[in-house]
Amino acid sequence: MTGDMMYGLVTGILFGFLLQKGRVIRYDKQIGALRLIDMTIVKFMLTAIVVGMIGTYALVDLGLAKLSIKPMIVGAIVIGGLIFGVGWGLFGYCPGTSLGAVGEGRLDGLWEWPACWLARGDLRRDLSPDESDGAHMGKFWQNYIAANLGRKPLVGYPSDRDWEYILISMVGEKRSVAD
Amino acid sequence: METRKDPGAWNPYLAGALTGLVSIGSVWVTGKYFGASTTFVRGAGYVEKIIDPAYLAKLEYMTKNKPIIDWQWMFVVGILIGSFIAASSSGSFRLQAVPDMWRERFGDNAVKRGTVAFVGGTIAMIGARLADGCPSGHGLSGSIQLAVSGFVALACFFIGGIIVTRLLYGGGEQK
C-alpha cells in the first residue's frame, strides 16, 4: 500500500465516522432534506463547506496547497446535475457515501454497485444503436455541432467530451472543450 | 421541526465542522479533495476486466480512469469502515433492506425498494458522469474552493431531487 492509499483510507475512515455521527448518510435523512422536512444534511454540508473553505484558502494563500477547480460547463453541469438529482431522489443515497450507509447496516445502499455497471461505458457510444451507421443520432449531432461551431468533426469514436459538445450546443455556452 | 430521539447523534454543525477540518487536512497533507463517484465506475471496470477485457480496452473513459486502486478507492473503503465503527460503537447499527421512511409509504417489499434503488443509482451515476462530479466532488470539494461549477451543481442536485421526492411522497403535508 502506497502512502497516498494509506492517507486515502485514513481520510475515508474519518469522513465515514463523521457522516455516521452526524446522521447524514441514511435514506431518511437524505430524502428528509429533499422533502424539505429535515435539514440535517443541509446543516452538515454547509458547515463543512464554510469551515473547509476558510482552511483551504488559507493553505492556498500560504502556498501549501493548490486549487483543483472543475470547469463550469453550463450544459453538462446543469443537465447532469438535474439528472443526478432525479437518481438521488429515487436511490436515497449519494452514490459516493452509499457505502457509508451500508456501514451502518442499510443494505439497500449496496445497489449502487450493480447500478454503476450501466454508467461505466462511453455513454454516448453505448446509447448509439450502430456505430457504422453514419446517420445515427450520435453522428448527426457530431456533424451538426461541428458544423455549427466551425470545428472539424471529431476523429475516432465520441466519448464523454462529446456529451459536452451536445450539451453546450443546446445551451449555447461558448467554451473550448479541447482539454 | 421535530427532534427525534437519537442519543448517539452528534450535532450536525459539529460533525460538519469536523468534516471541514478533515477535508483541510487532506488537502494539506496529500493535496486531495474529496471525491468518490469515479471509484464506483472503476469498480465496474474491474469486473469488466475479468469478463471482457477487449471491451474495456475500447472504453475511453476507462483508459482515462484506469481500474486501479488509488487514493480515492481507499477513501471510499474508508467511508464504509468509518461508518461501521461509528455505528457499532454507538449502538445505532441496524441491518435493514428497506428504510423506515420508504416503508411507511411504499411498504416492506425489499424487491420493490431494490428495483427503485437500482434504477435511481444508475440515473444518479450517469448524471454524476455528465456533470463530472457528485455531492462530494462538486458539492463539498467544489464549493470549498468557491468553484462556480460546485455551487451550480449542488443547486441542480437538490432541484432534481426535490422534484422527484415530491412526486414520490407528495408535498404539502407538514409533520
User: Which B residues, 72 through 111, put their C-beta within 8 Å of a C-beta on chain A?
Assistant: 72-87, 90, 92-102, 110
- Contacts A85 to B, Cβ<8 Å: 127, 156-164
| Regions of chain B with pLDDT less than 70 | 1-5, 171-175
With DSSP H G I counted as helix, E B as strand and the rest as coil, what are the percentages for chain A, rounded to 5? 65, 0, 35
Which chain A residue is nearest to residue B30, measuring alpha carbons?
A4
Which chain B residue is nearest to residue A156, measuring alpha carbons?
B60
Tell me if A84 and B140 make a contact (CB, 8 A cut-off): no
Min Cα separation B109/chain A (Å)? 12
Q: What pLDDT is attached to residue B4?
A: 54
pLDDT in tens, A121-172: 655 444 433 443 333 444 544 544 444 444 433 333 344 455 555 555 555 4
Min Cα separation A168/chain B (Å)? 12
| Regions of chain A with pLDDT less than 50 | 124-138, 140-141, 143-160, 172-179
pTM of the shown model: 0.80
Count of CB atoms situated within 10 Å of the CB of B125:
27
